[in-house]
Amino acid sequence: MGITILGLVIITLAILPFVGMHISRKKVEKELISGLRTMAESCNSQLASRDFGVEFAIGISSSKRYLFFYKQRNGLLTKHCVALYDIQKCTVNCVKRNIQSSETIIDKLELVLIPYAPQKSPIVFDFFSSAEHFRPNGELPLVKKWEAIVKDALHHKTVFPIAS
């Protein structure tokens, strides 16, 4: 009887950190989705699609007119609501560096939106930085997915402003 109780206590103690991480992650996701929804509402839009990274969320409006990016890191908040009809093209910036003669690591992953207006600076969504995290955790496929979503929206001409 004592061994059974001891075994249950050890199993509980082993599982507890994972449960705590899951609860913490869900709380962060709720905050991120709330931030995205607030930005969408400010543009009179609704979110059609969204994804989460470690400390950020990205989404597109149901009309595919707006792209939203919400990032919260160490108390700093980054918010972008981009009207896609102002965007000419979308690219991924993947900065790598060599750490040995045959091995490279990713330093930075960014989704870069190039506006039509040449006087406007590109809009950069920072998906991953080695200054913030040791290594990417799913950001590479995520940034490529969102590059394809934005390119598709730009290609299908669904992003022009509504005539008033």
d(CA 107, CA 129): 6
What is the pTM (predicted TM-score) of this model?
0.78
* 117 phi/psi in degrees, rounded to 5: -70, 115
Cα-to-chain-centroid distance, residue 112:
13
Task: State the pLDDT at residue 161.
Answer: 53
d(CA 159, CA 90): 14
Domains of the chain, by residue range, sit at: 2-155
Task: State the pLDDT at residue 146.
Answer: 94
What DSSP designation does 85 have? G
d(CA 58, CA 48): 11
Classify strands 123-129 and 66-73 as parallel, antiparallel or unpaired: unpaired
Beta-carbon contacts of residue 17 (< 8 Å; ≥ 6 apart):
none
Rg of the chain in Å (alpha carbons): 20
What is the length of the chain? 164
Q: Is 75 left (phi over 0), alpha (psi -120 to 50) or beta?
A: left
Task: State the pLDDT at residue 159.
Answer: 45
Task: State the pLDDT at residue 164.
Answer: 39
pLDDT in tens, the chain (164 residues): 778 888 877 888 788 777 777 676 777 778 878 888 888 888 888 888 899 887 889 999 888 889 999 988 877 888 999 999 899 999 999 988 887 777 888 889 999 999 998 899 999 999 988 888 777 778 889 999 999 999 999 987 544 554 43
Using an 8 Å Cβ cutoff, are 65 and 85 in contact? yes
| Domain at 2-155: CATH code | 2.30.29
